[in-house]
Amino acid sequence: MSAPRGPYAKTSAKRELILRAALEIYAEAGSRKVSVRDVAKRVGMTDAGVLHHFGNRESLLTAVLQARDTLTREKYGDVLANPASGAAMLADSVSTPGLVKLFLDIAAAAAEPEHPGHDYFAERYERFRHDTAESLARAQPPDGPPPAVDSARAARLLLAAADGLQIQWLLEPEIDMAADLEALHRVLLAALRAS
Amino acid sequence: MSAPRGPYAKTSAKRELILRAALEIYAEAGSRKVSVRDVAKRVGMTDAGVLHHFGNRESLLTAVLQARDTLTREKYGDVLANPASGAAMLADSVSTPGLVKLFLDIAAAAAEPEHPGHDYFAERYERFRHDTAESLARAQPPDGPPPAVDSARAARLLLAAADGLQIQWLLEPEIDMAADLEALHRVLLAALRAS
DNA sequence: GTCTATACCCGGATAGAC
DNA sequence: GTCTATCCGGGTATAGAC
Q: How many CB atoms lie within 10 A of CB A43?
A: 15
pLDDT of residue A139: 86
pLDDT band at A83 (very low <50, low <70, confident <90, very high): low
Is B75 among the domain residues? Answer: yes
Instruction: Specify the CATH number for the domain of residue B53.
Output: 1.10.357.10
**What is the nearest nucleotide to A37, using C1' and CA?**
D10
pLDDT of residue A10: 58
Q: Do B167 and A105 touch (CB under 8 A)?
A: no
What is d(CA A7, CA A153) in angstroms, rounded to the nearest whole number? 41
pLDDT of residue B34: 97
Q: Is B195 on the interface with A (CB under 8 A)?
A: no
Query: Is residue A185 predicted with pLDDT exceeding 70?
Result: yes
The Cα diameter of chain A in Å comes to 63
pLDDT of residue A92: 79
What is the total count of domains within chain B?
A: 1
In Å, what is the separation between the CA of A22 and the C1' of D15? Answer: 27
Q: Do B168 and A160 touch (CB under 8 A)?
A: yes
pLDDT of residue A5: 44
Using alpha carbons, select from B12, B18, B8, B168 the residue that is nearest to residue B104. B168
How many contacts, defined by CB atoms under 8 Å, are there between A and B?
141
Is B175 among the domain residues? Answer: yes
Sequential pLDDT tens for chain B (195 residues): 444 444 444 578 999 999 999 999 999 998 889 999 999 999 999 999 999 999 999 999 999 999 999 998 888 876 655 666 677 777 777 789 999 999 999 999 999 999 999 999 999 999 999 999 999 999 888 888 888 899 999 999 999 999 999 999 999 999 999 999 999 999 999 999 976
User: Which residue among A160, A161, A183 sits closest to B149, beta carbon to beta carbon?
Assistant: A183
Is A169 among the domain residues? Answer: yes
What tens digit of pLDDT does each residue of B45-56 get?
Answer: 999 999 999 999
pLDDT of residue B128: 92
Q: Do A180 and B153 touch (CB under 8 A)?
A: yes
pLDDT of residue A1: 43
pLDDT of residue A77: 76
Percent of chain A with pLDDT over 70: 90
Contacts (Cβ under 8 Å, ≥6 apart) of B105? A104, A105, A108, B31, B32, B61
On strand D, nucleotides with any atom < 7 Å from a protein CB are 1-5, 9-15
User: Which residue among A104, A172, A187 sits closest to B187, beta carbon to beta carbon?
Assistant: A187
What tens digit of pLDDT does each residue of B77-116 get?
Answer: 766 556 666 777 777 777 899 999 999 999 999 999 999 9
What tens digit of pLDDT does each residue of A57-73 get?
Answer: 999 999 999 999 999 88
What is d(CA B187, CA B178) in angstroms, rounded to the nearest whole number? 14
pLDDT of residue A195: 67
pTM for the full model? 0.93
**Is A4 (CB) below 7 Å from strand C?**
no
For residues A191 and B81, the model is more confident at: A191
Tell me how far CA of residue B175 lies from CA of A133, A161, B42, B83, in angstroms. Answer: 15, 15, 33, 19
Mutate to test the interface with A, among B120, B149, B184, B189 (most CBs of A within 10 A): B184
- Can you list the pairs that A129-135 forms with residues at least 24 positions away whose Cβ atoms lie under 8 Å? A129/A155, A129/A156, A129/A159, A130/A155, A131/A80, A131/A81, A132/A80, A132/A81, A132/A83, A132/A158, A132/A159, A135/A81, A135/A82, A135/A83
What tens digit of pLDDT does each residue of A131-159 get?
Answer: 999 999 998 888 888 888 999 999 999 99
Q: Nearest residue of A to residue B102 by CA position?
A: A108
pLDDT of residue A3: 42
Q: Is A120 on the interface with B (CB under 8 A)?
A: no
Identify all chain A residues contacting B187, using CB atoms and an 8 Å cutoff: 148-149, 187-188, 191
- Dihedrals φ, ψ of B41, to 5°? -55, -45
Is A1 among the domain residues? Answer: no
Distance from CA of B13 to the nearest CA of A (A): 32
User: Which residue among B104, B122, B168 sits closest to A171, beta carbon to beta carbon?
Assistant: B122
Q: Which amino acid is at A113?
A: P
Is B123 among the domain residues? Answer: yes
pLDDT of residue A58: 98
Q: Nearest residue of A to residue B179 by CA position?
A: A153
In Å, what is the separation between the CA of A89 and the C1' of C15? Answer: 50
Identify all chain B residues contacting A108, using CB atoms and an 8 Å cutoff: 30-32, 100-101, 104-105, 167, 170
Find the domain containing A16 and state its range: 7-193
Distance of CA B4 to the CA centre of its chain: 20
**DSSP characters over A146-169:** PPSS-HHHHHHHHHHHHHHHHHHH
Q: Do B160 and A165 touch (CB under 8 A)?
A: yes
The Cα diameter of chain B in Å comes to 63
For residues B151 and A8, the model is more confident at: B151
Is A2 among the domain residues? Answer: no
Query: Is residue A107 predicted with pLDDT exceeding 80?
Result: yes
Is B171 among the domain residues? Answer: yes
Q: How many CB atoms lie within 10 A of CB B20?
A: 15
